[in-house]
Amino acid sequence: MPVIRLQHAVFDPVAECAKLELGDAGAVASFTGLVRGEGGLVALELEHYPAMTEEALKRIAADAAGRWALAGLTIVHRVGRMAPGERIVFVGAASRHRGDAINAMHFVIDWLKTDAPFWKREEFADGHSAWVEAREGDAVQREKWSDRTKKGCRGAAPLSGK
């Protein structure tokens, strides 16, 4: 059921949502992440080991499908070099009811930030570059999806998302 793609090419979030609207969906929730250009950033380079990353994304998708009644789930994540303003990630979830779609989408993006093995290197206008370190806030967001939101507790996920 889940569609998972790792790719260099740009993607169209409208087209991705349209695919999720087909079939038995009554709701589609989506998230599109963009490369931020803060602090003079000119490029973001994402590296990964394809088999390891694909396996991690499959596990995250399977966990979401086990927690919520989904009609569809799409994860598109770009790799390679991207400029500020470019789309980097898309997560879309379809379900018969909005709560499952919203919670699944939120869950997947929170887990991607902490559990998907990507290595990010930022390049700046002044010529220096640096690897991006994990952010504590991402781990805090992930922990909101604790045991109380496992299968059988549909709709129990917090949606505050600070």
Q: How much helix, strand and coil, in percent to the nearest 5, is found in the chain? A: 35, 30, 35
pLDDT of 139? 65
Q: What percent of the chain has pLDDT over 70?
A: 85
pLDDT number for residue 138? 61
Residue 156: pLDDT over 60:
no
Indicate whether 41 pLDDT > 50: yes
The confidence band for 36, taking pLDDT boundaries of 50, 70 and 90, is: very high
**Does pLDDT of 114 surpass 90?**
no
Average pLDDT taken over every residue of the chain? 87
Beta-strand relationship, 3-7 and 41-47: unpaired
- The amino acid at residue 26 is G
The residue type of 68 is: W
Residue 159's SS3 state is coil
Section 10-36 average pLDDT: 95
Q: What is the mean pLDDT of residues 107-118?
A: 88
pTM: 0.85
Give the pLDDT confidence of 43-81 residue by residue, as tens digits. 999 999 999 999 999 999 999 999 999 999 999 999 999
Percent of the chain predicted with pLDDT > 90: 68
Letter for the amino acid at 60? Answer: I
Rounded CA separation 92/105 (Å): 6
